[in-house]
């Protein structure tokens, strides 16, 4: 854990040109996430949650404002630089957990390293993948493909993949939306344990009350504005 915030967004604005009109998706949003803080991001559909999450994770660049990720201002990074940032500094857990259906659980974790290209690869990717699978209780499922895993196991694999690159920030996109309530609770607990034990920050886009309960803080966004 360090004192440097995992994420600091200052006056972030994101607009889109639609014909002659300008649509404001995010309007002067300020958000700081501590280095091991779990923040739940809630709000109605179309409120700007996805846009905020995308900018925080280097998937989009802001139109205005600054985004500092683990001490580095990524606001004006090129697409290539943002690709590197996503690969090395940010973890993602998507709604659709079936990332690459023909890969085994272990390969799903190692693929993060393989995408780096030969020069940027770390030497211990396999060992780290095994360690993460062990910690997530999936050691005996390492060779299983998604078709051979339950919904909860798939979500755990997705969490393992997000942690593979030892990110400063993990972004969760509705991590429990495809799980029943019991599995959802288990996954929520697991997320908290994993984030807190590693001192890793997390932003979770959610509608699920269980997540807001385990979060350190809940941030509400409406019409592109973060509620005070």
57: closest CA among 29, 80, 86, 34? 86
Which one of residues 24, 59, 68, 142 is an interface residue with other proteins (CB under 8 A)?
Answer: 59
Which one of residues 2, 4, 32, 95 is an interface residue with other proteins (CB under 8 A)?
Answer: 95
Q: Is 80 in the site for other proteins (CB under 8 A)?
A: yes
Helix axes 151-163, 181-198, angle to 10 degrees: 20
Considering the complex, state which of residue 114 and residue 134 has its C-beta at the smaller distance from other proteins.
114
Q: Is 226 in the site for other proteins (CB under 8 A)?
A: no
Phi, psi of 163 (to 5 degrees): -90, -5
Which one of residues 7, 60, 136, 204 is an interface residue with other proteins (CB under 8 A)?
Answer: 60
Contact 73, 59 (CB under 8 A): no
Q: Report the 10 Å Cβ neighbour count for 21.
A: 8
Query: Look-up: residue for tokens 């949003």?
Result: 29
Classify residue 166 by its DSSP letter.
Answer: -
Restricting to residues 163-192, name those near other proteins by CB under 8 A: 165, 171, 173-174
- Give the interface with other proteins as residue ranges (CB under 8 A): 43-50, 53-54, 57, 59-60, 80, 83-84, 86-88, 92, 94-96, 99-100, 102-103, 107, 111-112, 114-117, 145, 161, 165, 171, 173-174, 205, 207, 221
């Amino acid at each position: 854990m360090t004192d440097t915030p995992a994420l600091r967004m200052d006056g972030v604005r994101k607009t889109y040109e639609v014909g002659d009109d300008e649509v404001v998706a995010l309007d002067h949003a300020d958000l700081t996430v501590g280095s091991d803080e779990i923040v739940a991001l809630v709000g109605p559909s179309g409120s700007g949650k996805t846009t905020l999450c995308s900018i925080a994770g280097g998937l989009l660049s802001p139109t205005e404002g600054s985004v500092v990720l683990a001490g580095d201002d990524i606001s004006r990074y090129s697409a290539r630089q943002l690709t590197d940032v996503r690969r090395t500094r940010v973890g993602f857990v998507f709604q659709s957990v079936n990332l690459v259906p023909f890969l085994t659980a272990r390969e799903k974790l190692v693929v993060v390293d393989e995408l780096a290209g030969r020069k940027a690869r770390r030497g211990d990717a396999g060992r780290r993948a095994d360690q993460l699978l062990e910690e997530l209780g999936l050691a005996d499922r390492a060779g299983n493909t998604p078709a051979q895993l339950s919904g909860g196991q798939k979500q755990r694999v997705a969490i393992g993949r997000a942690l593979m690159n030892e990110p400063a920030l993990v972004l969760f996109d509705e991590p429990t939306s495809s799980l029943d309530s019991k599995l959802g609770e288990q996954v929520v607990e697991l997320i908290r344990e994993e984030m807190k034990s590693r001192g890793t920050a997390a932003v979770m886009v959610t509608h699920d009350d269980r997540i807001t309960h385990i979060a350190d803080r809940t941030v509400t966004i409406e019409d592109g504005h973060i509620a005070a």
